[in-house]
Structure 1
């Protein structure tokens, strides 16, 4: 099967483009599936492909070891983008092994839509949309509340937007980003207080806008960029409503 596996490696990007046209090389053969799955153990410490595993993890250093799926947690596991249980021929293909965090690795699991072709975004071969589609809604009432949501854009085709929605659903990113936003705002409360006391609501508005622009360097749809855009657009928050962070837990 060596020639077939090498051919499959060459077809990898084609599979990503339209998985509906492909089936596994090992389809229908439990014996071949078992053999190919066994290759993954070669990446373990002290095994022949240990250096390959280490080099893949080193690629995460360029992202400060942040998980490319949630953009927050530290990487600690290798995810098979095309799950090895579905496509065992890619069990040790470096292009198919993505350094991710434990949470995202667990939630993604064996997700592989071969019917509709709605794959999640590949950290090496796909670019997340560079059009604003992730929004944070800030409500300042008795409490400060944050809610994330996705909104389609005429500049993004429906197939791509459906992939984005799928990624958020599989990884539970709305709730995850909400919790991260709570921690972010709590950590920054002293900055808001000092800025407002010194420069008023216009100063806080300016500071939040600068924080939004800084976060957008990580991507316009980064959770922190969406958060600070929403805060800078919320007049009530900027005019002193942020102080409700001090008195009442957020949700």
Structure 2
């Protein structure tokens, strides 16, 4: 009955992990046995269908990694790492389809002392108030820098969890690289729009691109990028042309 009871406690563990220790704590034999269950999800093993159904759920959501919102899912992350809580090694609620990069960087991250966990893709909602911002600088190059800023509508604990997620997964640098690729791919559109409709036309286009990306969330990296570009007078005035000749930083 211990495993069944642990499954029933899962959401309580997420709410305050500091109050819980693993069912296998102190027992190497039990830990090894529970960790061995994960192999049952492999192809041709008894729980292959469970693994397939979890990935099918991700496919129905465009297969984007819920941690970085960018890369394709290809791995199963144990939200509560199986090395800390082996009893959850095959619990579907604890198995999150993610990309290889996020799975590697998250690793065994689990703050059992402070109780500060990252965002769970099934049980938590990322803040819907602006908390992620992009700073655009147009000089000899166009540079983009992402940063977090707490809104008065976001409590400190939620903000610290956001920071933890961004720092653990290196999302500031990752989104900067994605922004480089996005702007380079779209530079011809900016040039044509500005040539036909001027500064205001380009600003309107950037606003429209931001609104489209906001369907994925107000803090989606692409929505944040285009919101910042639309508000940057120098970029809309023709500063985007620096993209044509000089690599971005």
Across the aligned residues of Structure 1 and Structure 2, the Cα RMSD in angstroms comes to 0.4
Equivalent position of 2:193 in the other structure: 195
Equivalent position of 1:115 in the other structure: 113
Report the CA distance between 1:63 and its aligned residue: 2.0
Distance (whole Å) between structure 2 residues aligned to residue 20 and residue 120 of structure 1: 14
SS of residue matched to 1:63? coil
Distance (whole Å) between structure 2 residues aligned to residue 176 and residue 14 of structure 1: 32
SS of residue matched to 1:149? strand
The yes-or-no answer on 1:101 pairing with 2:99 is yes
Equivalent position of 2:219 in the other structure: 221
Distance (whole Å) between structure 2 residues aligned to residue 44 and residue 30 of structure 1: 23
SS of residue matched to 1:99? strand
Equivalent position of 2:205 in the other structure: 207
Distance (whole Å) between structure 1 residues aligned to residue 200 and residue 18 of structure 2: 53
TM-score (normalised: structure 2): 0.99
Distance (whole Å) between structure 2 residues aligned to residue 165 and residue 102 of structure 1: 21
Distance (whole Å) between structure 2 residues aligned to residue 81 and residue 241 of structure 1: 43
Selected match of 1:30 from 28, 31, 35: 28
Report the CA distance between 1:153 and its aligned residue: 1.0
SS of residue matched to 2:60? helix
Stretches (4+) displaced over 2 A: none
Distance (whole Å) between structure 2 residues aligned to residue 39 and residue 108 of structure 1: 21
Report the CA distance between 1:57 and its aligned residue: 0.4
Structure 1 residue runs of 5 or longer lacking an equivalent are none
Equivalent position of 1:142 in the other structure: 140
Selected match of 2:169 from 168, 171, 180: 171
Distance (whole Å) between structure 2 residues aligned to residue 154 and residue 66 of structure 1: 30
Report the CA distance between 1:62 and its aligned residue: 2.2
Equivalent position of 1:17 in the other structure: 15
How many equivalent pairs are there? 249
Distance (whole Å) between structure 2 residues aligned to residue 63 and residue 107 of structure 1: 22
Distance (whole Å) between structure 1 residues aligned to residue 128 and residue 26 of structure 2: 41
Distance (whole Å) between structure 1 residues aligned to residue 19 and residue 169 of structure 2: 26
Equivalent position of 1:126 in the other structure: 124
Structure 2 residue runs of 5 or longer lacking an equivalent are none
Equivalent position of 2:229 in the other structure: 231
TM-score (normalised: structure 1): 0.99
Equivalent position of 1:54 in the other structure: 52
Equivalent position of 1:154 in the other structure: 152
